[in-house]
Amino acid sequence: MTQIEEKVIDSTFQFSTPVTPKSAELQSLFDFIALGASERDRDRILPYNVIDLIRQSRLGALRIPVADGGTGSTARELFDVVIRLGDADPNVAHIVRNHFSLTERILRAPRSERNRRWIKAIVDGAIFGSAANELELKKAGGGGVVNTKLTPDGDGYRLNGTKYYSTGSLYSDYLYVRLLTPDGIPALGIIPSKREGVELVDDWDGFGQRLTGTGTTIFTNVRVQADEVILETDTDKDYLPYNIVPQLVLTAINAGIIRSVLRDATTLINKRPRTFYHAVSEQAADDPLLQQTVGLLSANAFAAEAIILAAADGLDRLDAAKTQGKESELAAALDASLGASKAKLIVDDLALKSATLLFEVGGASTTKKSSNYDRHWRNARTLASHNPGHFKARAIGDYEINGTPLPPKGFF
């Protein structure tokens, strides 16, 4: 716990039911998370206590239907929450990205005993992390599995292999693992993260998103039950060719960063005891150039949020299309993927520009390491780099000109 957070008593949070998007308890939680965000980022303090509070709040159950014990939130409501959490602390928002992505997949799957078991775990507060990426696959369009394999072991299996960029897994209760069956068939596994033989290594050394636990996951002779393995053929009828949610979560976090930049800029100006040498006003708050800069930041925040929520509406239309047949559903999925891809191109650019504009209102003193204002640019740049925009722009252009569908793999 950071020095700032020690001033707040965790026991003041009483979550008798899962938080809802508009609940006062959720806003209080986000206010608490924001208190120590800069200090955690600057000093690399891993936010275990914050994730524990998220478990207690059952924030991860936002999309679970009310009948199953969740909140039943729409995609638009979910992404409004992601923006707000990204504003409070983009590291924490990124930690739960894979949780929300896997939750969508679980909800799309037919109800079964194991599916209901995972839904109950989410409702009870469990956090799901991902261990999906391998570095050994070199070919273009990679992302498959070559290294992490199951071998028979009685009525189950043993798992061996190594995964990289396992965002959020350091804090998780369950891991979503891409693997190969003994027959070499691609499959998915969902296993407890604390199971014997699972090693979570905090070796992420990126200049941004320093606390996300985006490290290496090593599986050494890990016991895997037969019903913890999902063959790709089990979900073919529910498969959609676009991986929309994890992409849009990253972009929504950048929208949250713009909000945070705006808040820091206004606070900086209001607290400045002096202004620039050539300023036309004695008080920084009265300077028309600084007012203009903050106006631009405010407009950027507004535009970014509006774009994200419009893209989230595409996911809600996709939910509605489930009952209209596979052709309608695939068309809605393409529409949602296009919306998320276009949103990324604009919002990432706004986030990076906004993070730079912050230094225009504060001058050289804002570059002090103790202030840590550079975290906004570092985090926004890191988030944007997860799926580079030029690939998105080319794919969108090819669709607009030639009608070529978006790539079926990766963050589309």
- The CATH number of whichever domain residue 44 belongs to comes to 1.10.540.10
63-67 mean pLDDT: 96
- Residue 299 in tokens: 């407009």
| Whether residues 136 and 224 fall in one domain | yes
Cα(107)–Cα(311) distance, integer angstroms: 20
| Whether residues 269 and 155 fall in one domain | no
| Whether residues 325 and 393 fall in one domain | yes
Number of domains making up the chain: 3
| Whether residues 220 and 120 fall in one domain | no
Over residues 141-190, the pLDDT tens digits come to 555 677 899 999 999 999 999 999 999 999 999 999 999 999 999 899 99
- The CATH number of whichever domain residue 170 belongs to comes to 2.40.110.10
| Whether residues 203 and 273 fall in one domain | no
| Whether residues 248 and 227 fall in one domain | no
Say if 408 falls within a structural domain.
no
Over residues 301-318, the pLDDT tens digits come to 999 999 999 999 999 999
Cα(311)–Cα(393) distance, integer angstroms: 16
| Whether residues 39 and 143 fall in one domain | no
Is-contact 192 144, C-beta < 8 A? no
Tell me which of 176, 210, 233 is where a domain ends. Answer: 233
Say if 47 falls within a structural domain.
yes
Residues, the chain: 412
The model's pTM: 0.94
> How sure is the predictor about 5, in pLDDT bands with cuts at 50, 70 and 90?
low
Tell me which of 99, 126, 153 is where a domain ends. Answer: 126
319-344 mean pLDDT: 93
85-110 mean pLDDT: 95
Cα(84)–Cα(114) distance, integer angstroms: 32
Tell me which of 218, 233, 248 is where a domain ends. Answer: 233
Residue 147 DSSP code:
S
- The CATH number of whichever domain residue 372 belongs to comes to 1.20.140.10
Say if 411 falls within a structural domain.
no
Say if 412 falls within a structural domain.
no
Q: Which domain holds residue 185?
A: 131-233
Indicate whether 88 pLDDT > 70. yes
R_g (Cα) of the chain, nearest Å: 22
> How sure is the predictor about 237, in pLDDT bands with cuts at 50, 70 and 90?
very low
